[in-house]
Amino acid sequence: MQGAQFLNAKVLFVLAHPDLPHSRANKRLAKAAAGVAGVELLDLYARHPDLYIEGTEAREAISNAKALVVQHPIYWYAMPGLLKEWFDRTFRVGWAYGPGGTALQGKKFLASITTGSHEDAYVADGVHGAPVDDFLAPMRQTVNFCGMAWLPPLIFHHARNAADAQLEQHAGVLVDQLNALLEDET
């Protein structure tokens, strides 16, 4: 079966970047994540070039995993369109919520997000008007509603222009977090 590797994921790492060849930070972070044994990388734009998502594959993978991680640039203060489509199609009634919908209960959830701005743009009187965390309310409540545990997000600001050393350091933080998820027995 194509995609059988996802069934062995202890951590499913869903990457959503519409132009990965021109990505800097998301490409680097996804590569770092994919190098961790037990983490399986699901590159949404590569796996669904026609943008059509049915959801069964991801549901099976997540059911077998203990944690779900999403990696994406912030676009218009939210996730890219295809990742939202993925949530809409994958987290369906009777699986994620509602009668019999217990598949996600107790699993851990981590958002790893990049931004194009310096952190000081994400303040009340900055150009973006609020911290990134405020804009994550829809994703956080989705996670809570489905009974998953929301972990503090990893935010990498100024992703395109940050120093190489900063990006490498952040990739290390992500790998540490993934290892912690893999070792977590709670």
The correct pick among 2, 21, 37, 52 for binding its own copies (CB under 8 A) is 52
- Distance of closest approach, residue 65 Cβ to its own copies, in angstroms: 20
Angle, helices 164-183/25-34, rounded to nearest 10 degrees:
30
- What x-and-dash track marks residues 69-108 binding its own copies by CB under 8 A? ------xxxxxxxxxxxxxxx-x-----------------
Torsion sign, CA atoms 32, 38, 44, 45: positive
Q: How far is the CB of 162 from its own copies (least distance, A)?
A: 20
From candidates 46, 105, 118, 145, binder to its own copies by CB under 8 A = 145
Long-range contacts of 3-6 (CB under 8 A, 24+ apart): 3/47, 3/57, 5/40, 6/40, 6/42, 6/57, 6/58, 6/60, 6/61
> What residues make contact with its own copies under the rule CB under 8 A?
18, 50-52, 75-89, 91, 127-130, 134-135, 137-139, 141-142, 144-145
